[in-house]
């Protein structure tokens, strides 16, 4: 596999709501900035298949898709430079979802935070654990894995709540690569350290689900009104105020320079009135947002133009997705009957070389085994505490071959002389095939 010169950065936004300041600070603004760096190759998309998992209002999904697309562009995304598309315009995504579904442990999905939270809530309410839980919610991480793996993304900027999904995508990629050869790049989550979670009107994380958001592109008058609604303590003008725990101050920091924040902190200490502080916040946000607002309105008024932009983006995305999907279908055996040999044990068949299999047993431990080209068991490991430990042992056997066997012998079931001979033969076949 050739190493691309560019770092592929990919992220999506679920199309279920109107973009708010939290989306802007946490997702839209940093991705627009990243997209401008020449070493990055950006993939940005509207996750409308994901939207179906939590929203059954068609008009809302359509409207949200329009608003998020317009927000991203108004905030400066250069759609000629990046690949900007709508998830549902890429039929290869659900197709890849199925291939990944077949290499994803159900147990892995059982541990996904969003699914577990739904089950916990049901349990707490004495309902059936899976009451109102759709298979869509359960499969959410696999769809997300397909989004990421399809475009061989190296970096995926996300909020903290999404880290687990990126780890799962990595698991899916390794399982698939392990079974069918190196096809996928293992992605990494990127959490912007400087992007703290933006608090909402009530001081909790700004989120649609708390109904505490400030709309991103509302008219200035509405922005001012919403800012006036930010919860503060009841200290009177003239009394010194604490910046610590002040939602107003934290929101200000997300827009201001360090110097500007220091000035406001001083004003807090000097007893600025809340009304004046809110005016300062309004002006600071509006200074950044106002120039984009007009562009946003223009885009919203021309949905057909946005359709064109998104379709052009999908076409660009599919130039990668279509051939890659063809490669993947071939790899798993969904291929022309006339292509290559149809006999399972043909050496020309890439899957018919010796291979390691990793799995988890009922005892909760992680195991691996090595099968030779005919599927015969050659080496059986003992249990490891983590998949990583098992993976490390496999990695050493793959790269060092027999050289590390003495050391690893304690971690595997004992072998007699004949078995040992077979193992050494298989390992050297394996290392040789890797070198080709
Ligand atoms: N699940 C993400 C969220 O709700 C959105 C999303 C879907 C996504 N697919 C993705 C983010 C792929 C990054 C990469 O925030």
Res 231: pLDDT: 95
CA of 12 to the centre of ligand 1 (A): 5
CATH code of domain 352-432: 3.30.160.160
* Ligand 1 neighbourhood includes 397 CB (under 6 angstroms): no
Is 6 within 8 Å of 41 (Cβ atoms)? yes
Q: Which atom of ligand 1 is nearest to the CA of 140?
A: 1
Mean pLDDT of 380-394: 87
How confident is the model over 231-279, as pLDDT tens digits? 999 999 999 999 999 999 999 999 999 999 999 999 999 999 999 999 9
CATH code of domain 217-295: 1.10.240.10
Between CA 230 and CA 240 the distance in angstroms is 18
Is 90 within 8 Å of 317 (Cβ atoms)? yes
* Ligand 1 neighbourhood includes 325 CB (under 6 angstroms): no
Residue whose CB lies within 8 A of the most ligand 1 atoms, among 117, 152, 153, 165, for a mutation test: 165
* Ligand 1 neighbourhood includes 147 CB (under 6 angstroms): yes
- Ranges in the chain annotated CATH 1.10.240.10: 217-295
Mean pLDDT of 424-432: 78
Is 160 within 8 Å of 191 (Cβ atoms)? yes
Between CA 35 and CA 80 the distance in angstroms is 11
* Ligand 1 neighbourhood includes 27 CB (under 6 angstroms): no
* Ligand 1 neighbourhood includes 212 CB (under 6 angstroms): no
CA of 353 to the centre of ligand 1 (A): 36
Residue whose CB lies within 8 A of the most ligand 1 atoms, among 28, 85, 156, 162, for a mutation test: 162
Between CA 386 and CA 365 the distance in angstroms is 7
* Ligand 1 neighbourhood includes 50 CB (under 6 angstroms): yes
Q: Nearest to residue 144, comparing CAs of 108, 117, 119?
A: 108
Q: Which atom of ligand 1 is nearest to the CA of 157?
A: 13
Between CA 247 and CA 201 the distance in angstroms is 7
Q: Atom 6 (ligand 1): residue with closest C-alpha?
A: 12
Res 362: pLDDT: 84
Between CA 217 and CA 209 the distance in angstroms is 19
Per-residue pLDDT for 373 more than 90?
A: no
* Ligand 1 neighbourhood includes 89 CB (under 6 angstroms): no
Dihedral (CA of 78, 169, 147, 132) sign: negative
Between CA 153 and CA 1 the distance in angstroms is 14
Which of 214-218, 287-291, 399-403 comes out lowest in average pLDDT? 399-403
- Sorted by sequence, the CB contacts under 8 Å of residue 286 that are 6+ apart come out as 220, 223
Q: Nearest to residue 353, comparing CAs of 334, 331, 373, 326?
A: 373
CA of 14 to the centre of ligand 1 (A): 6
Q: Atom 14 (ligand 1): residue with closest C-alpha?
A: 11
- Tokens 């040999």 belong to 341
Confidence of residue 347 (pLDDT cuts 50, 70, 90): very low
* Ligand 1 neighbourhood includes 162 CB (under 6 angstroms): yes
Between CA 47 and CA 64 the distance in angstroms is 11
- Sorted by sequence, the CB contacts under 8 Å of residue 320 that are 6+ apart come out as 150, 151
CA of 339 to the centre of ligand 1 (A): 37
Residue whose CB lies within 8 A of the most ligand 1 atoms, among 19, 26, 50, for a mutation test: 50
Query: What does the H/E/C string look like for 286-318?
Result: HHHHHHHHHHHHHHHCCHHHHHHHHHHHHHHHH
- Ranges in the chain annotated CATH 3.30.160.160: 352-432
* Ligand 1 neighbourhood includes 148 CB (under 6 angstroms): yes
Nearest 5°: CA angle at 308, between 49 and 326? 55
Residue 372, class by beta-carbon neighbours within 10 Å (0-12 exposed, 13-18 middle, 19+ buried)?
buried
Q: Atom 9 (ligand 1): residue with closest C-alpha?
A: 144
Report domain 7-196+302-345's class: alpha beta
How confident is the model over 178-230, as pLDDT tens digits? 999 999 999 999 987 666 578 999 999 898 889 999 999 999 999 999 999 99
Res 436: pLDDT: 44
Per DSSP, the residues of 150-193 read HTT-SEEE--GGGHHHHHHHHHHHHHHHHHH-S--PPPEEE--T
Averaged pLDDT of the chain: 90
Mean pLDDT of 32-37: 91
Per DSSP, the residues of 103-137 read TS-HHHHHT-HHHHHHHHHHHHTTS-TTTT--HHH
Any long-range contacts for 91-94 (C-beta under 8 Å, 24+ apart)? 92/150, 92/318, 92/321, 92/322, 92/324, 92/325, 93/49, 93/143, 93/146, 93/147, 93/150, 93/321, 94/49, 94/143, 94/146
Beta-strand runs (E) in 175-257: 188-190
Per-residue pLDDT for 302 more than 70?
A: yes
- Ranges in the chain annotated CATH 3.40.50.620: 7-196+302-345
Mean pLDDT of 286-306: 97
CA of 199 to the centre of ligand 1 (A): 21
Q: Which atom of ligand 1 is nearest to the CA of 10?
A: 14
Q: Which atom of ligand 1 is nearest to the CA of 159?
A: 15
* Ligand 1 neighbourhood includes 97 CB (under 6 angstroms): no
């Amino acid at each position: 596999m050739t190493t691309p010169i560019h770092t592929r950065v990919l992220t999506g936004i679920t199309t279920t709501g109107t973009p708010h300041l939290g989306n802007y600070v946490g997702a839209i603004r940093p991705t627009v900035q990243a997209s401008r760096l020449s070493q990055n190759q950006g993939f940005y998309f509207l996750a409308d298949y994901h939207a179906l998992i939590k929203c059954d209002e068609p008009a809302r999904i359509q409207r949200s898709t329009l608003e998020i697309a317009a927000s991203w562009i108004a905030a400066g995304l250069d759609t000629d430079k990046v690949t900007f598309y709508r998830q549902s315009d890429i039929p290869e995504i659900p197709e890849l979802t199925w291939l990944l579904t077949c290499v994803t442990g159900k147990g892995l999905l059982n541990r996904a935070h969003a699914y577990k939270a739904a089950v916990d809530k049901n349990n707490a309410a004495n309902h059936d654990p899976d009451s109102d839980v759709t298979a869509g919610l359960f499969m959410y991480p696999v769809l997300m894995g397909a989004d990421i793996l399809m475009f061989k993304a190296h970096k995926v900027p996300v909020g903290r709540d999404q880290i687990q999904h990126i780890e799962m995508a990595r698991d899916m990629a390794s399982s698939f690569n392990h079974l069918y050869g190196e096809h996928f790049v293992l992605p990494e989550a990127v959490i912007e350290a400087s992007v703290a979670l933006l608090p909402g009107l009530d001081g909790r994380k700004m989120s649609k689900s708390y109904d505490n958001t400030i709309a991103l592109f509302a008219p200035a008058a509405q922005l001012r009104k919403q800012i006036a609604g930010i919860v503060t303590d009841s200290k009177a003008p003239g009394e010194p105020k604490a910046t610590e725990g002040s939602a107003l101050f934290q929101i200000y920091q997300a827009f201001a320079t360090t110097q500007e924040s220091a000035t406001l902190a001083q004003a807090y200490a000097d007893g600025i009135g809340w009304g004046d502080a809110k005016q300062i916040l309004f002006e600071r946000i509006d200074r950044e947002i106002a120039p984009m607002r007009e562009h946003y309105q223009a885009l919203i008024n021309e949905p057909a133009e946005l359709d064109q932009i998104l379709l052009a983006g999908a076409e660009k995305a599919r130039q990668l997705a279509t051939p890659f999907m063809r490669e993947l279908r071939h790899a798993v055996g969904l291929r022309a009957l006339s292509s290559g040999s149809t006999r399972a044990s043909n050496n020309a068949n890439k899957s018919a070389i010796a291979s390691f299999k990793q799995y988890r047993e009922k005892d909760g431990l992680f195991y691996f085994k090595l099968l030779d080209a005919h599927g015969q068991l050659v080496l059986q490991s003992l249990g490891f505490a983590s998949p990583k430990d098992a993976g490390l042992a496999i990695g050493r056997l793959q790269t060092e071959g027999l050289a590390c066997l003495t050391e690893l012998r304690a971690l595997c079931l004992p072998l007699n002389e004949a078995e040992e001979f077979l193992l050494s033969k298989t390992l050297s076949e394996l290392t040789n095939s890797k070198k080709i």
